[in-house]
């Protein structure tokens, strides 16, 4: 009996020591500079958010937090750098919804495993996409685009920066649900894409206010509609796609998230999550969200996990309907 009591006491002390050690690690994190890797280019909306976040985390943590841009290659360049980096939380990565929920359905083989490589801590924001055309465009509504596309199969075009991004998949879905056929034109950069819209080189392109906003504010591009459930508060005069003569309930959305390496101690992961949540709630971050027409997207870890599963099902359906593939 005495032996059993000593054994139980020893086990309890071991467990307590482990918990104390993990708590101490969390309290001292970070112990060196932190790197946030992003697949987005300098000056893009998502990168602007993570750069402001890095500044806030640096002040909170008392350590430099640097943003490292590794655009291109469908995000695989950034993901490879993350996988080869520190696994103790000092390397984090910004991912978007296509990396997490769409690419597993677009590629037969990926250079990463969402479940095994990432601890997805929390989303940063959610955004919806506008249907953008040149201010000189003959199209006044989404209904006009659809009618012209039906009358001239294969003649109209839309653009994006790659195959499989939300702009491409959203535009391809519009083709599918309206029974039209249009050409997909790929541009190297988003600035070139929306210049193509402004000059009428493209019939239209979808875009967020973060990506298309500069051209819209310059009066070179106009928003015909927003692919959202309802009009946006800061764009009350822009109708939904359904209100603009397109399919009712048509939505194209995007979001980005911060991920840590899989297997990070829970105490450290929780600390990172809490500190990011605090940063996202601050006034200047909310102001940036308003500028880009981004929505705050607060989610618990459990809620976010369920949401990502829903998104995976949604993208699987979009990929099936559009017959998109990257293999």
Q: Do 114 and 38 share a structural domain? A: yes
pLDDT at 16 over 80: no
Q: Do 267 and 209 share a structural domain? A: no
Domains held by the chain: number = 2
* CB 232 within 8 Å of CB 109: no
What is the rounded average pLDDT for all residues in the chain? 91
Q: Do 100 and 58 share a structural domain? A: yes
Whether 5 is covered by a domain: the verdict is no
Whether 104 is covered by a domain: the verdict is yes
Greater model confidence, 151 or 43 = 151
Last-in-domain residue among 203, 223, 251: 251
Q: Do 122 and 38 share a structural domain? A: yes
Whether 236 is covered by a domain: the verdict is yes
Q: Do 136 and 227 share a structural domain? A: yes
What is the pLDDT averaged over residues 295-300? 92
pLDDT at 22 over 60: no
Give the domain extent around 102: 32-126+254-322
Look at strands 183-186 and 157-160 and give their pairing: parallel
pLDDT at 18 over 50: no
Whether 178 is covered by a domain: the verdict is yes
Whether 290 is covered by a domain: the verdict is yes
pLDDT score, position 102: 92
Whether 85 is covered by a domain: the verdict is yes
User: How far apart are the C-alpha atoms of 321 and 176, rounded to whole Å?
Assistant: 7
Look at strands 34-38 and 65-69 and give their pairing: parallel
Q: Do 212 and 135 share a structural domain? A: yes
Last-in-domain residue among 205, 236, 251: 251
Last-in-domain residue among 201, 235, 251: 251
Whether 11 is covered by a domain: the verdict is no
CB burial string 208-224: b at 16+ within 10 A, e below: bbbbbbebbeeebbbbb
pLDDT score, position 5: 60
pLDDT at 17 over 70: no
Q: Do 298 and 157 share a structural domain? A: no
User: How far apart are the C-alpha atoms of 57 and 64, rounded to whole Å?
Assistant: 8
Q: Do 142 and 109 share a structural domain? A: no
Q: Which domain CATH number covers 50?
A: 3.40.190.150
Q: Do 304 and 246 share a structural domain? A: no
Q: Do 242 and 260 share a structural domain? A: no
pLDDT score, position 1: 55
């Amino acid at each position: 009996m005495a032996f059993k009591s000593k054994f139980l006491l020893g086990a309890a002390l071991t467990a307590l020591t482990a918990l104390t050690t993990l708590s101490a690690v969390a309290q001292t994190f970070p112990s060196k500079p932190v790197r946030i890797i992003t697949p987005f280019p300098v000056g893009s909306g998502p990168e602007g958010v993570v750069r402001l976040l890095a500044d806030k985390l640096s002040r909170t943590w008392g350590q430099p937090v640097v943003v490292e841009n590794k655009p291109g290659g469908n995000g695989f360049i950034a993901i490879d750098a993350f996988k080869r980096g520190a696994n103790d939380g000092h390397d984090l990565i910004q991912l978007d919804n296509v990396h997490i929920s769409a690419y597993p359905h677009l590629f037969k083989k990926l250079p990463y495993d969402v479940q095994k490589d990432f601890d997805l801590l929390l989303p940063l924001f959610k955004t919806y996409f506008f249907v953008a055309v040149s201010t000189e465009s003959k199209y006044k509504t989404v209904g006009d685009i659809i009618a012209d596309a039906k009358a001239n199969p294969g003649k109209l075009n839309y653009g994006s920066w790659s195959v499989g991004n939300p702009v491409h998949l959203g535009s391809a879905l519009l083709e599918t649900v309206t029974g039209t056929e249009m050409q997909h034109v790929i541009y190297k950069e988003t600035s070139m894409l929306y210049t193509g819209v402004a000059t009428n080189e493209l019939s239209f392109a979808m875009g967020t206010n973060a990506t298309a906003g500069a051209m819209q504010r310059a009066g070179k591009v106009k928003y015909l509609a927003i692919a959202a459930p309802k009009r946006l508060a800061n764009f009350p005069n822009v109708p939904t796609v359904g209100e603009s003569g397109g399919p009712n309930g048509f939505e194209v959305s995007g979001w980005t998230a911060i991920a840590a390496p899989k297997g990070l101690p829970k105490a450290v992961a929780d600390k990172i999550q809490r500190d990011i949540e605090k940063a996202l709630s601050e006034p200047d971050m909310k102001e940036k969200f308003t500028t880009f027409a981004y929505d705050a997207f607060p989610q618990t870890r459990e809620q976010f996990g369920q949401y990502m599963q829903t998104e995976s099902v949604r993208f699987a359906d979009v990929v099936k309907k559009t017959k998109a593939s990257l293999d």
